[in-house]
Amino acid sequence: MFAVNARGTLAGTREAARIMRDGGVIVNVCSTAGFEARLDTQIRNRRQ
């Protein structure tokens, strides 16, 4: 899963950089929620 997310971010950033040759800013934002497993989230997702 990490490899898919990392490659997607890299591909998106690379394409944005190609489009913004005259200048611009690329900001990649992530969440730290993926670093911690939570039981209540797992149960809630399973019920849906």
Q: Which pLDDT band holds residue 48 (cuts at 50, 70, 90)?
A: low
CB 17 within 8 A of CB 26: yes
pLDDT of residue 44: 56
* Residue range 1-47, pLDDT digits in tens: 677 778 888 999 999 999 998 999 999 887 777 677 666 655 555 65
pTM greater than 0.75 (yes/no) = no
Encode burial over 35-46: b for 16+ CB neighbours within 10 A, e otherwise: eeeeeeeeeeee
pLDDT of residue 20: 92
